[in-house]
Amino acid sequence: MHVVHYDAERYANASEAQHYAAGLAVLGILLEVGDEPNAAYTNILSHLGSIRYAGQTTSIPSFSVQELLPERLDRYYRYNGSLTTPPCLQSVIWTVFQEPVRISTVQLEQLQGSLYATAADEPSAERLEDNFRDPQDLNQRLVLASFTTSEN
């Protein structure tokens, strides 16, 4: 999962911020399937029905983003990179946590079966799946770890 941030004092919105170096900061959270549902993710998943199709928006009651993150916030990788979707602008400071967050199988299935890449008025609905970007070359980027690794 990605949580996208931008400096609201410098930019009007994320769409503007993406055009500037380090305009966006993204927290990358790896999800792992377990038996128990994750209450923080249940909160988000309960609103998926309002944003099933491309272009739809909704508001949800405020909550602490920290609830979505792993317990070990001190173990992460950081690098300057790009957006994962076109136009793949090089404007993101990525922080990817080493420790995954567990969600239940039911929650994963809810995520996989609820979202569409097409607009609501399009005749055939196309599920939002296999929407990952292939691994990219490092292009001399430096990946930093907040902890000692075997490759340091």
pLDDT tens per residue, range 112-121: 888 888 888 8
CATH of the domain at 100: 3.10.200.10
Domain that holds residue 59: 2-145
Q: What is the overall mean pLDDT for the chain?
A: 92
Within a domain: 36? yes
Higher pLDDT, 24 or 63: 24
CB 98 within 8 A of CB 76: yes
Q: How far apart are the first and last CA of the chain?
A: 27
Within a domain: 151? no
Return the SS3 of 91: coil
Within a domain: 128? yes
Within a domain: 20? yes
- Residues 79-106: tens digit of each pLDDT: 999 999 889 999 999 999 999 999 999 9
Q: How confident is the model at residue 141 (pLDDT cuts 50, 70, 90)?
A: very high
